[in-house]
Chain A
């Protein structure tokens, strides 16, 4: 019986051209979003790769020169020296012997590796840097904030697969379900059917099963279209683990809309009333609440603007230049071990640079800290108020699953900061000791190795959004059950 009705429903739905139109739109939108998401991820990967190999090329050239220099020294028997100034090629030690030159003039580009699903949700990644140049002297605060924007839109902002799923998928589901019972009652077929040995509950269950199966098929299909259209890391098991989560979360979200449509149908209003109520619910839950949350978060926790940072950096720079002497004194006071042996202080450019960078970093760090704190507060507010709207929970969940959440980026920034210190310390130390770099040293430069977060961390961060969605779904799904007994079969 369930099968019979479900098959019948499927056939009737399959003959509704409007649904095909929406489905076609949905598939097209998903494919397009996935394709463009995939392109931007590839661009990001390529950009990071290009930048890194450019820098590697620079260092390779420097190494080449030191190797030549080393050979020459060996042949002529002179001392292997540190290049305190830039010599013309072939004259004196090359730049490559100067750790300060290598560490500050070339950068280590480090990037947060995108997950296999990164293209499915741009998330916060459009306001995050794809890759960070790590150089000696410049603090992370300065590089990471070069691109700081005040993110007005903390939530869905760009046209990506997550947007299609959050905005458009409910429309398909609602179009399929908003008149679940009301249309049959209005057309009179409900009475015809219920004159047969079928309970309303069974009828309803079968109609729901048919649609649930369609939703399952559509969601899985759309997900596969998206993942395959992007085609990143398909051989990695983690990609498919994330894909499974994506399917689960999307199904729960879909089922919420489905259950909402059923709930509205139970109250026995007309199809047009049901349609209006559901369209209103969509507007409020998907559009209005997320926008309001975003707006409130950025209004009560405004981050310092990029302007503020630039101005502060410039002021600190000027002050540092003015107080060159003073800052050098301060620097040596802190780093007695670096005070050059011998007659006077090495007033060379790079030592000063290192000293003034220190000053600028100190001047900037409160602003940077404020920026971080505000961003944290904004994210916290969004996290806390996500329960107001399934769309917000969904956005956060999809960001997490796609590896574009701000938490994952935050973790990457921490790793980056650690590496920055490592890089800086390595070169600064050798530079200040004027210890010349040898070609072999080029192999032992600090290298960044991204430590992937354990999957349990991802699950833990996903838990609030996912359980929020589940509870909401259960709430909406369980309400209709008692109500169905009172449904008026015959239209009046």
Chain B
């Protein structure tokens, strides 16, 4: 579903990404690990066509992102570190707007409410202005947007950083639901524990390169941490 082929991105003579090859299939939760500046966000931005690759291709559902950015975005949902919504609109209004932007005008008010219920947003919050939401609540709306959009692939950039353990756990549960529905999920994270718990595959990045890939069912929590730290030295 998501595929990076020899993806490179340079800023001047500084290479943020040096030939990344990566594949995330439907039903995968692929966790990208790596130090600050390793190139995780760059990878995600390339899939979203927010930035142009210096060379190589990013593919979504077999379509080149730079060739047909609008087409590929129909399959994508994006949950950044902070899901940013329109503060003076309510949760439901935000959800409806983004769903419609994604081309889904078919939902009723009840449908929107049920998306918000599914992601566990407090029932009374849906009609409050988003300005009053906590970070956890906004991340939930982010997932609801992905649900409403019926996204085939999710790009998550440190979505749980700053969430309390319970919220983080609930968020992971939502991801598992989405995966079970057949979504391909690429998540950049610094949370090794969550990566092993939630993900089925892990990729470790260093200085713009993917240095190792793991399947989580083949390694223990301790292994993940050890291997990660080995690469960081």
A418 within 8 A of B: no
Mask: chain B, 81-99; 1 = CB below 8 Å from A; 0 = not: 0111111110001000110
Question: Contacting B80 at CB < 8 Å: which of A4, A191, A197?
Answer: A191
A199's nearest neighbour on chain B, judged by CB, is B70
A460 to chain B: which residues have CB within 8 Å? Answer: none
Q: Is the Cβ of B82 less than 8 Å from the Cβ of A188?
A: yes
A197 to B69, CA, bound (A): 8
CB distance from B11 to the nearest CB of A (A): 11
Q: A192-B98, A193-B101 are in contact. Are A187 and B84 (CB under 8 A)?
A: yes
Q: Knowing A188-B80, A188-B82, A192-B83 touch, does A198 contact B88 (C-beta < 8 A)?
A: no
Task: Tell me whether A15 and B98 are in contact in the complex, defined as CB-CB below 8 angstroms, given that A191-B78, A192-B83, A198-B70 are known contacts.
Answer: no
Q: Which residues of A contact B155 (CB under 8 A)?
A: 195
Whether A192 and B89, one on each chain, are in contact in the complex, defined by CB atoms closer than 8 angstroms, is no
CB <8 Å contact, B86 and A194:
no
Decide if B45 touches A189 in the complex (CB within 8 Å).
no
B102 contacts A196, C-beta separation under 8 Å: yes
Residues of B within 8 A of A195 (CB): 48, 73, 76-78, 155
Shortest beta-carbon distance, B67 to chain A, in Å?
A: 14
Cβ contacts under 8 Å, A15 to chain B: 88-89
In the complex, whether A489 has a CB less than 8 A from a CB of chain B is: yes
In whole Å, how far is B187's beta carbon from the nearest beta carbon of chain A?
A: 15
In the complex, are the beta carbons of B89 and A12 less than 8 A apart?
yes
Contacts A191-B50, A192-B98, A489-B50 hold; do A197 and B103 have CB atoms under 8 A apart? Answer: yes
Whole-angstrom CA separation of A198 from B48 in the bound complex: 12
Interface size counted on chain B using CB atoms at 8 A: 30
Nearest B residue to A186 via CB reads B84
Say yes or no: A192-B70 contact (C-beta < 8 A), given A4-B100, A490-B50: no
Q: Does B190 contact A (CB under 8 A)?
A: no
Given contacts A4-B101, A194-B48, A195-B78, is CB(A189)–CB(B86) below 8 Å? Answer: yes
Residues of B with C-beta under 8 A to A11: 89, 93
Quick one: closest B residue to A17, CB to CB? Answer: B88
Q: Which residues does chain B contribute within 8 Å of A197, judged by CB atoms?
A: 70-71, 73-74, 101-103
Could you tell me which residues of chain A, from 1 to 29, have a CB within 8 Å of some CB in chain B? 1, 4-5, 8, 11-12, 15-16
**A47 to B48, alpha carbons, bound, how many Å?**
71
Assuming the contacts A196-B101, A198-B101, asked whether A189 and B50 have C-beta atoms less than 8 A apart, the reply is: no
Closest to A7 in B: B97
Q: Mark B residues whose CB is within 8 Å of A.
A: 45, 48, 50-51, 69-71, 73-74, 76-78, 80, 82-89, 93, 97-98, 100-103, 149, 155
Could you list some 11 contacts between A and B, CB below 8 A? A8-B97, A15-B89, A189-B86, A192-B80, A193-B101, A197-B70, A197-B73, A197-B103, A198-B73, A490-B45, A490-B51
Which residues of A are interface residues toward B (Cβ below 8 A)? Answer: 1, 4-5, 8, 11-12, 15-16, 187-189, 191-199, 489-490
Using A197-B71, A198-B73 as known contacts, list a sample of 9 further A-B pairs with CB atoms less than 8 Å apart, ordered by residue number in A. Answer: A4-B101, A189-B86, A191-B50, A191-B80, A193-B98, A195-B76, A197-B70, A197-B102, A199-B69
